[in-house]
Amino acid sequence: MSYRVGVIGCTGIGTQHASGLVGLTDAKLVAGCDLSSSVLKQFQEHWAEEWPDVATYTDHRQMLAEARLDIVTVATSDHKHADLVVDAAQAGIKGIFCEKPIATSIADADRMLSATDANGTILSIDHTRRWQPLWVETKQQVEDGVIGKVQNIIGTLNGGRAMLFRNGTHLIDAICYFSKGNPDWVFAQLEDGFENYAEYRGDGGHDPKTEPSAHGYIHFDNGVRGFYVGGSKQTPSGFGLEIVGTEGRVRINSQQSILEKEGKISSIEAPTWETVGIPAGIQELVSLIREGGTPVSPGYEAYKVVKVIIGFLQSQQRGNIRVDL
């Protein structure tokens, strides 16, 4: 059987979603949906050699009704995720790969999880580092006890993409990923100039002038403490974690993972993967539909991220106090 795949949101990220299908014998791109006819034409032309018969739609409901899809990927503006995922799940779609953040409100995230659970739909969210071999190997070594019991996790995010709903979602997810706990309370302070910012106002977090960075504290139910350090958006770009345990520490960023233990410094080496990042997430979803299992970046993990971000905003509005999640 070859699973039929449709992409909603056919610009750059949507094209990356489709790229994960290249070379697969059990899945193929059959449809694309976008509000822009010109984007759809470019998408169709881009994949014409690989899949010459891709149908295009400007209405996702029509695509869901006509294209006989098994898998849908969602690469639209953040605030549109919820309706698209709910509609796809209720249409009987087997698996959905959705961009981060899962949603822009807790209510929308609740709707998405309820719909996918009720319909037996697998929901995977693009927190990309969960399909990066350096991060996966480091996570495994931390779980195996290389630094003892994890105590604190300090995440640092800088540069023009340091907004909470842009790359902040990735950093909070990374903190949660290594914590192995559930965030139960937070407090935070937003970037200067955003003191009255109470809800997500952007469309994908693309304009640094409209979305804040933040500093925050995340308390986990297993005792791990998370520190979110969101630097000025005028600083050089940077993304990294320091995971501190009872017997050592690890510092990881996009290029390297460094272990400090017993006065010695060494590198954690990434294994070689044929496919990484978004394409690996797409291929994982295809495999899960065929064989069963749980995504490495499931909807309920992404739900934690939205709870933390909304908690940060609420903390700011309440005078930077503790907010229970």
Residues 152 and 235 in one domain: yes
pTM of the complete model: 0.96
Residues 115 and 236 in one domain: no
Rg (CA), the chain: 20
pLDDT tens digit string along 239-275? 999 999 999 999 999 999 999 999 999 999 999 999 9
Q: CA-CA distance, 127 to 153, in Å (whole number)?
A: 18
Q: Does 203 score more than 70 pLDDT?
A: no
Whether 59 contacts 8, CB under 8 Å:
no
Residues 139 and 268 in one domain: yes
Residue 72 — pLDDT band, cuts 50, 70, 90?
very high
pLDDT tens digit string along 22-64? 999 999 999 999 999 999 999 999 999 999 999 999 999 999 9
Angle, CA of 284, 124 and 179, to the nearest 5°: 100
For the chain, the domain total comes to 2
Q: CA-CA distance, 162 to 112, in Å (whole number)?
A: 26
- Sign of the Cα torsion 19, 21, 24, 28 reads negative
Q: CA-CA distance, 293 to 289, in Å (whole number)?
A: 8
Which residue is it, tokens 């959905």? Answer: 96
Paired with 239 in beta bridges are 157
Residues 168 and 61 in one domain: no
Which residue is it, tokens 């509000």? Answer: 35
Residue 201 — pLDDT band, cuts 50, 70, 90?
low
Q: CA-CA distance, 289 to 67, in Å (whole number)?
A: 18
Residues 185 and 213 in one domain: yes
Residues 111 and 161 in one domain: no
- Sign of the Cα torsion 286, 290, 294, 296 reads negative
Q: Does 220 score more than 70 pLDDT?
A: yes
Q: What does the mean pLDDT of the chain come to?
A: 96
Is the backbone peptide bond immediately before 101 cis, with ω within 30 degrees of 0?
yes
Residues 201 and 254 in one domain: yes
Integer angstrom CA distances of residue 207 from 166, 168, 203, 211, 291: 10, 14, 9, 7, 41
Q: CA-CA distance, 322 to 325, in Å (whole number)?
A: 10
Q: Does 142 score more than 90 pLDDT?
A: yes
Residues 292 and 254 in one domain: no
Residues 256 and 156 in one domain: yes
Average pLDDT over residues 149-153: 98
Residues 194 and 61 in one domain: no
Residues 200 and 311 in one domain: yes
Look up the CATH number of the domain holding residue 16: 3.40.50.720
pLDDT at 200: 84
Host domain of residue 209:
130-273+306-324
Q: Give the Cβ contact number of residue 119 at 10 Å.
A: 15
Q: Does 99 score more than 60 pLDDT?
A: yes
Q: CA-CA distance, 316 to 306, in Å (whole number)?
A: 16
Whether 74 contacts 8, CB under 8 Å:
yes
Q: CA-CA distance, 92 to 19, in Å (whole number)?
A: 24
Look up the CATH number of the domain holding residue 231: 3.30.360.10
Residues 28 and 109 in one domain: yes
Q: CA-CA distance, 163 to 181, in Å (whole number)?
A: 24
pLDDT tens digit string along 291-323? 999 999 999 999 999 999 999 999 999 999 999
Query: Domain for residue 301, yes or no?
Result: no
